[in-house]
A and B are shown apart, each in its own frame.
Chain A
Amino acid sequence: AQRVTQPEKLLSVFKGAPVELKCNYSYSGSPELFWYVQYSRQRLQLLLRHISRESIKGFTADLNKGETSFHLKKPFAQEEDSAMYYCALSVGYSTLTFGKGTMLLVSP
Chain B
Amino acid sequence: DTEVTQTPKHLVMGMTNKKSLKCEQHMGHRAMYWYKQKAKKPPELMFVYSYEKLSINESVPSRFSPECPNSSLLNLHLHALQPEDSALYLCASSHPRVAGTSTDTQYFGPGTRLTVL
Contact = CB atoms under 8 A, between A and B. Distances in A.
A100 B97 contact: no
A94 B103 contact: yes
Contacts of B102: 32, 51
Given A98-B42, A99-B42, A43 B108 contact: yes
B45 A96 contact: yes
A98 B109 CA distance: 17
Contacts of A100: 41-42
B56 A98 contact: no
Nearest to B44: A98
Interface of A is mostly: loop
Contacts of A99: 42
Given A44-B90, A98-B42, A93 B105 contact: no
Contacts, number: 51
Nearest to A44: B108
Given A32-B103, A46-B105, A94 B31 contact: yes
Contacts of B90: 44
> Which of A43, A94, A99, A101 is the most central at the interface, judged by chain B CB atoms within 10 Å of its CB?
A94
A98 B96 contact: no
A49 interface: yes
Interface string A76-108: 000000000010001011111011110000000
Interface string A46-58: 1001010000000
Interface of B: 4, 31, 33, 40-45, 48, 55-56, 90, 94, 96-97, 102-111
25 contacts: A34-B105, A42-B110, A43-B111, A44-B43, A44-B90, A46-B105, A51-B102, A90-B103, A92-B97, A93-B48, A93-B56, A93-B97, A94-B31, A94-B48, A94-B94, A94-B97, A94-B104, A94-B106, A95-B33, A95-B48, A95-B56, A96-B45, A96-B106, A100-B42, A101-B41
